[in-house]
Amino acid sequence: MKKWGFALIICLGLIFVYMKPFAEPKVEIQYGHYKNDKGDRWTTEEIQKEIKVKQIFQGNLLLVNSQHPVHQESIKSDIVNLSANNDLTQGYVLLGTDIYLSEEIAHQFSEMIAAAGKEGIQHFAITSGFRDFNEQSILFQNMGSDYALPPGYSEHNLGLSLDVGSTLTRMADAPEGKWIEENAWKYGFILRYPKDKVGITGIQYEPWHIRYVGFPHSAIMKEKNLVLEEYIEYLKKEENISASVNGERYEISYYPVTENTSIPVPPDHYYEISGNNGDGVIVTVFSS
C-alpha cells in the first residue's frame, strides 16, 4: 500500500475516534444531590418556592397516555399556525396549511432541522402538530381506535409533539427517520414510541412521532434507553440525581405536590420546573 493511502486510513481512523463520543450522549449519573469539591450543593443558600397544584399539569415533561389525560392547563399557550410564520419553517415543508405547534417547540425543531441539513439530510416534512380536543375527536371518530387516540389522550393535544415525515419515502426507511432516531436527543426531542417499547407505551412503533422533553432529559433517556413512562418512574424512585451530560452538569429532583407544597430552589442558578401530569413536579437545575 502506498504511504499516502496508509496515512489517509490513519487520518480517517483518528477522525472516527474523535467523532465517536459525540454520536451518543456521554452521561454520568450520581444518585443524591450534587456536591462540589467543598461538599456544598449548587449554592450555600436555598429559597423556598411555593408550588401550586396546577403546576403538576404544566411543563415539558408531562406524561400523556391512557392513564394520564391532557388537562386544559397543560396545553402550551404559544400555539401558532406554522404556515403563517415563514421564519419557523425554513428547511422543511408543511403538508397542509393548518398545522399548528408551540412557537417555542417550533424554534427547537427548526434548529434541529438546520443541523440535519448541514449533514445533507434535508427532505423533512411536518404532517401533523398540535390538535385541539375537537379536531382530535373528529380524527378519532373517522379513523377509529386502531389509528387514533380519543380527545385528551393524545400528545398532539399538548403542543409538544409533531409527526415528521420524509418527502423521499416512508419515515421508517428514510435517511430523515434514521437521523431523527440518532440525533433528536441533542435538541431536546425523543422518539416517543420506539419499536422496542410497545409493551410499555401501549402504542405501536411510530418512527414519525417525536416529542419535546427538553435537555438534559432527552440525553438521559437516550443513554439509558428509557421512554417517558420509564423516565418519570425512574425520577420518582431516585428522587434526586445529578447528571453530567457531555461535560455539563445538571441536578434533577422529583417532589410530590399536595395543596401546600414548597420546594427548595437555588437563587444563583437557572432552573426549570415541570409537572409530571400525575402527582408531582420535576426540578432541573443547570450548572451555568
Task: Note whether 30 and 251 are within 8 A (CB).
Answer: no
**206 catalytically annotated:** yes
- Sequence-ordered list of residues with C-beta below 8 angstroms from that of 192, at least 6 positions apart, any chain: 155, 161, 201, 203, 206, 209, 210, 211, 227, 228
Instruction: Name the burial class of residue 112, with classes exposed (0-12), middle (13-18) and buried (19+) by CB atoms within 10 angstroms of its CB.
Output: buried
CA distance 273 to 275: 7
| Alpha carbon separation from 83 to 42, 79, 97, 206 (Å, rounded) | 43, 12, 6, 25
Task: Note whether 121 and 175 are within 8 A (CB).
Answer: yes
Residue from 134, 149, 174 nearest 67 by CA: 149
Task: Note whether 106 and 88 are within 8 A (CB).
Answer: yes
Count the neighbouring beta carbons within 10 Å of the beta carbon of residue 221.
Answer: 21
CA distance 137 to 131: 10
Q: Which of these is catalytic: 206, 230, 233, 239?
A: 206
Task: Note whether 23 and 238 are within 8 A (CB).
Answer: no
- The residues assigned a catalytic role are 206
